[in-house]
A and B are shown apart, each in its own frame.
Chain A
Amino acid sequence: MSIEIAGVGKRFGDFVALEDVNVSIPTGQLTALLGPSGGGKSTLLRIIAGLEEADSGRIEIEGVDATHVAPQKRNVGFVFQHYAAFKHLSVYRNVAFGLEIRRRPKPEIKTRVTELLELVHLEQFADRLPSQLSGGQRQRMALARALAVDPGVLLLDEPFGALDAQVRKELRDWLRRLHDEVPVTTVFVTHDQEEALEVADEIVVINAGRVEQVGSPDQLYDTPANDFVMRFLGPVTQLGPDLVRPHDLELHATDPGDGLPGTISRITRVGFELRVEVASADQVVLVTLTRTEFAALGVEQGSPVYLRLAHGAPTVPVQTPVAALDEPDPVPA
């Protein structure tokens, strides 16, 4: 059940939230809308759900024009960042809500809700109120509630944004497994590139109301379309006129032939990783390597070294210069 978004634009007063967005979201996959806060990704999700109306453009859900269809008729499940739990209803009644609205027979509702509560591991909490659940449990309840009505499309708006890091990671894995089990077309919004890279089949990068790139996590990471995508998906450093990944740079103690000479100006160690700043000509280049790799080089702060880009590593021409490098206090290596 694919979603086609064609020429969608949306403004809030003078603020342009979306501008001529064209994306097609494939059936049965887990797609991430990734981008910085205020970039328009949540707005796009709400437009797909019908909770917000686009100023221009079309939305098609499974080949049917849904642009002006009311949200309750789109057969879309929506999960909110802050759960939007029905506070006065028990967990069971929350999940049953959509089915009760559809006037399904009681036994059918009971079977379906029980099945879903088992799926989200909340079967023993059926009679509790949402206020008696933890954040992670409430979000699982919200997911079960959205799945109860067999939606053609499941939309999640920063579903793990309000949870702490540990729970977030667990739920992320769980969502991936759930999607493999229940392969409904799913779109989720996130500003966390790690979350998108880890969970999604396909990523749509949205920035300042525009789609920057669409592709699989590997495509995006290996062949970023522009310097925004490259920067957003991971750490970058500048080498000459190009942006490169710091871990794609090789450090040599002796000139390998085509190396760029420089001097180690700073060394920072974070766990197993070493971040080495090399001052060369008119720029400071960041290189990351493992502790073992660094030890094998036998260099230290102030040593002359040579830089070389690993073969086949992606580079993107710089449009705006790289901001100051990471600034943790240097730890003596």
Chain B
Amino acid sequence: MDEETYEDDAQRDLDREHGPEGVRLAGVLYEPAEPGERAPRRRRKKKTRATYLFRFIALAYLFFLVAWPVSLVVKNTFANGLSDLTDLLSDPDAIKALKLTIVVAIIAVIVNTIFGVGMALLLVRYQFPGKRLLSALIDVPLSVSPIVVGLALVLVYGGRDGWFGVWLEDHGFQVIFATPGIVLATIFVALPLVIRELVPVLEEIGIEQELAARSLGANAVQTFRRITLPGIKWALIYGVVLSLARSLGEFGAVKVVSGNVLGQTRTATLMVEEKYLNFDKGGAYATSFLLVLVAVSCIVVVSLIRPKEKRK
């Protein structure tokens, strides 16, 4: 990095600080910092017929693709009152499946959060050969079909003829057709989410605050905890929520590696499929409803506790 780069960074900081509209990051609107120096606010556009038309198209699109189908799941869950739900919750195998899903999701989220923060810092703060390759590699889980991920994991960790799995199994550690395999598959598919939320925010906040903290006597840990972490807090929470939702809902990769053993390696999503194929539609809807419930409440909680976007 030479001096010019510092100055460019600085200029970008300045542009950001004094930009007339603020910058939207991870859904949080960062208002221009300087009330006195702010450019005059754009006058709100008059609502014309086109505005209403666009609004209608957007709403209709979301309604037919998202809201309506999901609401039908809810409706079908309660088609027989609460009986489908109570039946499901009194079935010990179903409880086991739900528990397994939650445990797997929590482990995957923890691992992906720690790995994601480290990886994002590495990608933004350091220069090293192969950085672009690494960055591209991180996106692989997003672009490869989960079922392929599952097959790939079996090839490596399979107990019978896997590349690494045979050795592991000989030492008494079963990966495929057991919980570790499900965790591995879930971590894999949710891996990029935290990183991709953090990278733009880390780039945005720049390195000067961290340098200032270092020059004031803070060590690396103190700098991260007191300066970096508060700066990336909301992006991190958002990334965690996305990872959690993705982990709870993972189906394809898990289906290949779990073996789908009732009461042992059957997760909630596998249970939905199983019940649906066995004409237990009530049970399938009830399980789906629980999955939707957790995901939607995560989003609602985050949007409630997130600082309100300033409106003036």
Contacts and interface: CB of A to CB of B under 8 A. Distances in A.
A149 B4 contact: no
A148 B211 CA distance: 16
A102 B217 CA distance: 8
B3 A98 contact: no
Given A38-B4, A131-B33, A81 B216 contact: no
Contacts of A82: 10, 13-14, 208
B217 A101 contact: yes
Contacts of B209: 84-87
B21 to A, nearest CB: 15
Interface in B195-242: 205, 208-209, 211-219, 222, 226-227, 230-231
Q: Which of the four size classes fits the interface of chain B?
A: 20 to 34
Given A80-B208, A84-B212, A134 B2 contact: no
B40 interface: no
SS class, residues of chain B in contact with chain A: helix
A88 interface: yes
A72 B219 contact: yes
A12 interface: yes
A98 B222 CA distance: 11
- Interface-centre pick from B3, B209, B211, B217 (highest chain A CB count, 10 A): B217
A188 interface: no
A71 B2 contact: no
Nearest to A10: B2
A17 B1 CA distance: 10
Interface in A98-153: 98, 101-102, 130-132, 134-135, 142, 145-146, 148-149
Contacts of A146: 215-216
A49 interface: yes
B95 to A, nearest CB: 42
A142 to B, nearest CB: 8
A86 B4 contact: no
A306 interface: no
A43 B3 contact: yes
A114 B178 CA distance: 61
B14 A162 contact: yes
A108 to B, nearest CB: 15
A78 interface: yes
Given A37-B7, A101-B222, A12 B217 contact: no
Interface residues of A, number: 43
B208 A72 contact: no
B130 interface: no
B211 A97 contact: no
Contacts of A272: none
B53 to A, nearest CB: 38
A88 B231 contact: yes
A15 B231 CA distance: 33
B92 interface: no
A316 to B, nearest CB: 27
A101 B218 contact: yes
A209 to B, nearest CB: 10
B215 A78 contact: yes
B219 A86 contact: no
Interface in A1-43: 12-13, 15, 17, 37-38, 40, 42-43
Given A73-B217, A76-B215, A149-B216, 8 more contacts: A13-B2, A50-B215, A74-B215, A88-B230, A97-B213, A101-B217, A131-B34, A135-B34
- In the A-B complex, the 5 residue pairs with the closest CB atoms: A98-B216, A84-B208, A78-B215, A84-B212, A131-B33
Interface of B: 1-4, 6-7, 10, 13-14, 31, 33-37, 205, 208-209, 211-219, 222, 226-227, 230-231
26 contacts: A13-B2, A15-B2, A38-B3, A43-B3, A49-B215, A50-B215, A71-B211, A72-B214, A72-B216, A74-B215, A84-B209, A86-B209, A86-B212, A86-B227, A97-B213, A97-B218, A101-B216, A101-B217, A101-B218, A131-B34, A132-B35, A134-B34, A134-B37, A146-B215, A146-B216, A149-B216
